[in-house]
Structure 1
Amino acid sequence: MTVRADVAELMRAGYGDRTIARRLNVSIGTVRRARAELQMPAGQPGPKSYGTPADVFWQRARPVDGGHMEWTGTVHQGTIPSLRHGGRRYSAYRVAFSIAHHRAPVGRVEPGCGHPGCVHPRHVEDRTIRATYTAIFGGTQ
């Protein structure tokens, strides 16, 4: 049997037999025979973990009109877009801030663009950014 390269690639990436069959439109039997041919262990069922919280973020953030991004994942306590990684819960706002600014945020992080729930990394602000804005332009932000 000649093993298809795309089937072998997904096996090496750790995907389960059903996922490979569904993605590539092949039978489960084809995948199982390929595993046997390549002498690979059976694939593990269930969702696969992502490398970092930022990887999870990019899977769940979706661009919308006006250059904003909306959250398609879980919303904690009804208002905070959140994600789970490595058994921990993260605020999507805080992950987005870290992506854009390459540092941990200080205090609460929230959208500064005026678009409710926006998680675009360049649109979220922490306490330091809000305080700087206020110091420069005055007023409350």
Structure 2
Amino acid sequence: MTRPRGATDEQIAAMLRDGATHKEIKTTLRVGGSSITRARTTQQIPYVPRTGDDLRAHLTRRYPQAIEMLRAGATRQSITAATRISAGTLTRIRKALDLPVPQRPRPSSTIPQVLARHLQPYGDGHARWTGPHTGTKPELNAGGRRYNARRQSFAAHHGRTPEGRVTTTCTEPRCIAGAHLADDIVRTEQQAEQQLDATFTAIFGPDAP
């Protein structure tokens, strides 16, 4: 891999002194291993010990201010501002010195966001579920909880929680479009409408307006 313009031995050496790994340097500066070795040699940068007491001793000598701030409970942002040490280096220091590494909370998607992501419309108003399944049941994961995606699609369309079993009313057996789903209440209403239509036809005939 050729070195891009501007990736000098001094730049490579600066990342080495900051504790960056060869992989991080290659990715950031787009240089090869031979360039890193040459910069380490010309700049007289020793290899950092990898494990054990030697590593802890090296880090203590190299980053005394950062370690003191870490032990005092300072945030990563404040340490970086004061020492210009990268977040990756701070994580390596924490691990080597058995200091707790804060876990970043993963953003939690809402039910509407997951529905928008995995409801794929097709055909005549149908929709298929592109998210995970438990067996044949479409599964919706949001806010750290699991839901029946068909019931959530019904609720989003009808504006209420379904009563009883949710079934598909169209010819597509796996359709999950809210408008094509029915619960006990919708089925009762549909049956009532069908009975009313049948009564009307019996009285006035099939050709009545």
TM-score (norm 2): 0.42
After the TM superposition, list the runs of 4 or more consecutive aligned residues in structure 1 that deviate by more than 6 angstroms: 44-47
Specify every segment of 5 or more residues in structure 2 that has no aligned partner in the other structure, as ranges.
1-26, 29-79, 82-86, 88-102, 196-209
Q: CA deviation at 1:123?
A: 1.1
Could you tell me which amino acid in structure 1 is paired with residue 131 of structure 2? G
**Bigger relative CO (Cα 8 Å, ≥ 6 apart):** 1
Q: Does structure 1 residue 110 correspond to structure 2 residue 167?
A: yes
Q: What is the aligned counterpart of 2:157 among 78, 93, 100? A: 100
Q: Which has the higher helix share?
A: 2
Q: Does structure 1 residue 65 correspond to structure 2 residue 123?
A: yes
Instruction: State the Cα RMSD in Å.
Output: 2.9
Q: CA deviation at 1:48?
A: 3.8
Aligned-partner SS, 2:138: strand
Distance in 2, Cα, partners of 1:85 & 1:71: 15
Encode CA deviations 1:12-70: one digit per residue, 9 max, x unaligned.
xxxxxxxxxxxxxxxx75xxxxxx89xxxx6x7796421x2121111011111222110
Q: Does structure 1 residue 119 correspond to structure 2 residue 179?
A: no
* Equivalent runs, 1:39-58 vs 2, <5 Å: 48-50=107-109, 52-58=110-116
Distance in 1, Cα, partners of 2:115 & 2:106: 16
Specify every segment of 5 or more residues in structure 1 that has no aligned partner in the other structure, as ranges.
1-27, 30-35
Does the CA contact (< 8 Å) of 2:108 and 2:144 recur in 1? no
Encode CA deviations 1:77-129: one digit per residue, 9 max, x unaligned.
x2211111122211111111111111111011121112111111111111110
Larger Rg: 2
Distance 1:107 1:47, change over 3 A: same
Distance in 1, Cα, partners of 2:156 & 2:191: 23
Q: Which has the higher strand share?
A: 1
Aligned to 2:188: 131
Could you tell me which amino acid in structure 1 is paired with residue 119 of structure 2? A
Residue correspondences, number: 101
TM-score (norm 1): 0.60
